[in-house]
């Protein structure tokens, strides 16, 4: 395996007695697309800030591009692109100017920045908005501008904290397409998300994080294989009746009883549904689908990702 670009070993961040990140260990290879999947408050953003060399770790080891962020923060940050969870574009500047001022922070000559800014606006499909005010952009456009800004220094690693949080489906797909292109170009991507579909789309490998700890690690497919069945049958009996119905479902497959529905894990969802009906139950709705990372998370933590 090539030398990892990020190595975290027993990485810990505490705020007084509370451990936001509680001894996590992982490596990211160059060119890899690596994800941290977990619910809000799992410690993903804190991990990202430490990797971004802007938050001092409490204990453990962290190496980024062969450097220690405690010692060489500016040198590390010079080679990172950061897309934070909350947009922090300068709303007092126009779209293109945001790229120009940001490029200067990396010590790049003005001519180089100007050329890259135009290329990146094109990449982010914002060329026509170059002179627009930031506040006049849609949420998806702001995100794309933030990504373009993060690429101004041609970073070796791009850190994305919840890149599509709060965007509508169409805007998410445009963004995924752009990120996928970066991945194809060999940019190392590290992203956090609480959307399982996003993790499945973009990550070669991911860790499932909960309460500051890593619960599982692997490729999306491997995680699903390991921690869930091939298919899932979702049945609804009505809010008050799910609990009662679940008693009659024992033995068909592993059950997860949620407030609004029951999940039955089985390698053959249709056969499981036949069995449910055979037992004299009549679900209001039923759905057979493939297992997803959501199911993996539910299995590992007993909770859903989006609560």
Partner 1 sequence: MSVSTTTTPRVRVGRAWYVTEHKIREMRTYAGTLIATAIGTPFLYLFAFGVGLATLITQNVGPNPDVTYLQFVAPALLASAALLVAQEEYTFGILMGLKWNPIFIAMNATPITPRQIVNGIFLFVVIRMAITSLIYFAVMVVFGAVPSAAGVLIIVAGMLGGFAFAPVAAYAATIEEDRGQFAILQRTIILPLTLFSGTVFPLTQLPIYLQWIGWLSPLWHASELGRQFSYGPTEPIWLTVIHVVYLVGLGVFGWQLCVRNIARRLNK
Which residues contact partner 1 (rule: CB under 8 A)? 2-3, 5, 30, 46, 49, 52, 54-56, 65-66, 73-75, 77-80, 82, 84, 86, 88-93, 97, 100-102, 104-107, 149, 153, 156
Q: Which is nearer to partner 1, 89 or 216 (CB)?
A: 89
Residue with Cβ nearer partner 1 (100 or 271): 100
CB 38 within 8 A of CB 210: yes
Closest approach of Cβ 124 to partner 1, in Å?
16
Smallest distance from partner 1 to CB 227, Å: 33
Report the SS3 class of residue 15: strand
- Supply the minimum distance, in Å, between the C-beta of residue 145 and partner 1: 12
| Separation of alpha carbons 57 and 68, rounded Å | 11
CB nearer to partner 1: pick between 3 and 9: 3
In the complex, the smallest distance separating the C-beta of residue 134 from partner 1, rounded to whole angstroms, is: 10
Q: How far is the CB of 61 from partner 1 (least distance, A)?
A: 16
Residue 82's beta-bridge partner residues?
159
> Residue 159 or residue 215: which is nearer to partner 1 going by CB?
159
Structural contact between residues 199 and 206, judged by C-beta atoms closer than 8 angstroms: yes
In 10 A of CB 86, how many CB atoms? 10
Q: What order do you get walking across the sheet with 18-28 strand by strand?
A: 18-28, 6-15, 59-64
Q: Smallest gap, in angstroms, from Cβ of residue 165 to partner 1?
A: 17
Residue 78: CB minimum distance to partner 1, A: 4
State which residue, 157 or 233, has the beta carbon closest to partner 1: 157
Nearer residue to partner 1 within complex by CB, 153 or 228: 153
Rounded to an integer, what distance in angstroms lies between the CA atom of residue 38 and that of residue 273? 30
Neighbours of 303 (CB within 10 A): 11
Q: Which residues neighbour 3 within 8 Å (Cβ) at sequence distance 6 or greater?
A: 30, 66
- Scanning the chain, the segments in alpha helix (DSSP H) are 44-51, 69-77, 95-104, 110-123, 139-150, 169-184, 196-202, 220-227, 242-247, 269-278, 293-301
3-state secondary structure of 105: coil
CB of 3 to partner 1, least distance (A): 5
Nearer to partner 1 by C-beta: 34 or 195?
34
For 17, 124, 201, 263, 267, the CA distances from 141, given in Å and listed in that order, are 39, 8, 20, 37, 41
Closer by beta carbon to partner 1, 54 or else 132: 54
């Amino acid at each position: 395996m090539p030398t990892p670009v990020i190595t975290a070993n027993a990485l810990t961040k505490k705020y007084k007695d509370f451990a936001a990140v509680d001894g996590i260990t992982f490596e990211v290879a160059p060119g890899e697309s690596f994800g941290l999947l977990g619910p809000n408050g799992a410690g993903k953003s804190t991990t990202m800030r430490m990797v971004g060399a802007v938050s001092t770790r409490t204990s453990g080891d962290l190496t980024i591009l062969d450097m220690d962020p405690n010692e060489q923060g500016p040198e590390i940050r010079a080679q990172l692109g950061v897309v934070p969870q909350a947009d922090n574009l300068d709303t007092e500047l126009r779209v293109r100017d945001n790229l120009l001022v940001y490029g200067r922070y990396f010590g790049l000559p003005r001519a180089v920045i100007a050329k890259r800014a135009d290329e990146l606006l094109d990449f982010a499909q914002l060329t026509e908005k170059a002179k627009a005010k930031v506040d006049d952009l849609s949420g998806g456009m702001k995100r794309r501008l933030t990504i373009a800004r993060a690429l101004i220094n041609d970073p070796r690693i791009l850190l994305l904290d919840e890149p599509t949080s709060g965007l509508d489906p169409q805007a998410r797909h445009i963004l995924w397409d752009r990120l996928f292109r970066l991945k194809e170009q060999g940019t190392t991507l590290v992203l956090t998300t609480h959307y399982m579909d996003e993790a499945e789309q973009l990550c070669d490998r991911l860790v499932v994080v909960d309460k500051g700890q890593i619960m599982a690690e692997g490729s999306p497919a491997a995680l699903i294989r390991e921690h869930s069945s091939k298919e899932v049958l979702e049945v609804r009996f009505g809010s008050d009746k799910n609990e009662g119905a679940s008693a009659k479902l024992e033995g068909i497959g592993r059950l997860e009883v949620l407030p609004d529905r029951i999940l039955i894990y089985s390698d053959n969802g249709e056969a499981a549904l036949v069995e449910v009906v055979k037992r004299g139950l009549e679900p209001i709705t039923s759905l057979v689908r493939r297992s997803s990372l959501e199911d993996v998370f539910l299995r590992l933590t007993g909770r859903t990702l989006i609560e």
